[in-house]
Structure 1
Amino acid sequence: MRFLFALPICLLSIVAMAQTPFADQLATHRETYKKDLLKSAGGPLASEEDLAYVQFYEPDSTYRITATVQLTPKAEPFEMPTYNGKTRPHVSYAILSFVLNGKKQQLTLYRNLNVIRMPEFRDYLFLPFKDATSGKETYGGGRYIDFRTKDIKEGQLIIDFNKAYNPYCAYQEGYPCPIPPKNNTSPVAIRAGEKTYGKEH
């Protein structure tokens, strides 16, 4: 089960071979993602038929970019609101700076202070964001991308927006899905990753 609905159900596919062609690697990642979405205990999908409504943008390597990482070791913990009215303790881990569609961008990378208490997720990092597609082509509540601390190498981090995924709230209401902070709203249309769930709920 995705812990607190902010854990990566897609992390399992990161082990794909680096030399695998981009589109093939992403296809494998998405298949693993969908299978995990269905089999997760307490998950939002009731049957395999629901998977037909899980939609993605076509693979686009231009949305796989390298960001400069500025760590924020003195950041104060705070309570990040969720869509069911509860909160979850988080802390800023780093500021990510990059250029996307010709525009300079900054997003904040977070740590969930509950999740990192679990040994297997001690190095887990969380990037919640909204963009110009939110509420139109993609879920209005924003999307997430997951990382591990080891993904940061020599002050840089590869962000693959093709792996952006919906929180459980995109499929059903009532889950404690973290709300992306206002500073993590991009004015750019990020047409990569998961689209709006195609079934009414």
Structure 2
Amino acid sequence: MKNICLILCVLLLNVSCGQEKKALIGETEFQRELNASYKDASTSPLKAKDLKTFTALDFFPVDNTYKVTASFKLTPESKPFKMATSTTRTPIYKCYGIATFKLNGKEFSLEIYQSQDPNRDPKYKDDLFLPFTDETNGFDSYGGGRYITVKIPSGNTLEIDFNTAYNPYCAYNDKYSCPIPPRVNFMKTEVKAGVKTFKKH
């Protein structure tokens, strides 16, 4: 009987530790999935020396203030263009629509882009690209701006959750080529949501 009790105690302890460890990885599903991806050597953009000591990314506290419903106006007449990157690569994008919303007491209108890459994986066909900069860049967040992935909406509104803002791979490793957010998508406010700047070793 004592042995059975001992085994049960050990199992309960392992479960408890497992749950505690999982809780430390992230507050939300987005954070947990991103941390898991960065910890996995097969999917991580981290340099080998940073991956060795990596436990989790640093996030701003989750704040529903930064989850907004924007009015969304399609821009079917917009022409494809070459988006500047951190290298000489110039991927082709098109402005799919303009999202207008209020945040921190101010109104913003941001361009939302769609990749025009003919070799793009079909599973991303409903994904739109929102690169932006704000007044936290170079301080609490990466100097080159951040990205948000949103889905093509079915109506004239678009949900944007800045808590899911993530850094370009260039924030972790300069071997990558990363789109530079167009000037039109600068937000004159502090977006204290999403991933913070990464402290390299």
TM-score category of the 2 structures, normalised to the smaller one = 0.7 to 0.9
1:159 matched to 2:154? The reply is: no
Residue in structure 2 matched with residue 11 of structure 1 by the alignment: none
Ranges of 4+ aligned residues in structure 1 off by more than 3 Å: 40-43
Residues 117 and 170 (structure 1), Cα distance of their counterparts in 2 relative to 1, 3 Å cut: closer
Pairs within 5 Å for 1:7-156: 27-39=28-40, 41=42, 43-45=44-46, 46=48, 47=51, 49-52=53-56, 54-114=57-117, 117-149=120-152, 152-156=153-157
Correspondence for 1:21 = none
Deviation of 1:37 after TM superposition, in Å, equals 2.5
Q: Which runs of 5+ in 1 are unaligned?
A: 1-24
Q: Alpha-carbon deviation of 1:162?
A: 0.4
Alpha-carbon distance in 2 for matches of 1:160, 1:142 = 16
**Higher radius of gyration, 1 or 2:** 2
The one-letter amino acid of 1:49's match is: T
Of structures 1 and 2, the one scoring higher in RCO (CA 8 A, sep 6+) is 1
Task: Give the aligned residue type for 1:138.
Answer: S
**Percent sequence identity over aligned pairs:** 40
Distance 1:38 1:180, change over 3 A: same
Q: Deviations over 1:26-56 (max 9, x none)?
A: 522201111112336463223252234x210
Superposed CA RMSD in Å reads 1.8
Distance apart, 1:118 and its partner CA: 2.5
| Aligned residue pair count | 173
TM-score of the aligned structures, taking structure 2 as reference length: 0.80
Structure 1 residues 115-139: Cα deviation after superposition (integer angstroms, max 9, x where no partner): 7743211222000000011111100
C-alpha separation in 1, matches of 2:41 and 2:135: 30
Distance in 1, matches of 2:28 and 2:72, equals: 28
Query: Which whole-Å CA distance do the structure 1 matches of 2:113 and 2:181 have between them?
Result: 10
Q: Distance in 2 between matches of 1:48 and 1:67?
A: 40
- State the TM-score, normalizing by the size of structure 1: 0.80
Unaligned segments of structure 2, at least 5 residues: 1-25
Task: State the match for 1:7 in structure 2.
Answer: none
Q: 1:154 to 1:180 in 2, by over 3 A?
A: same
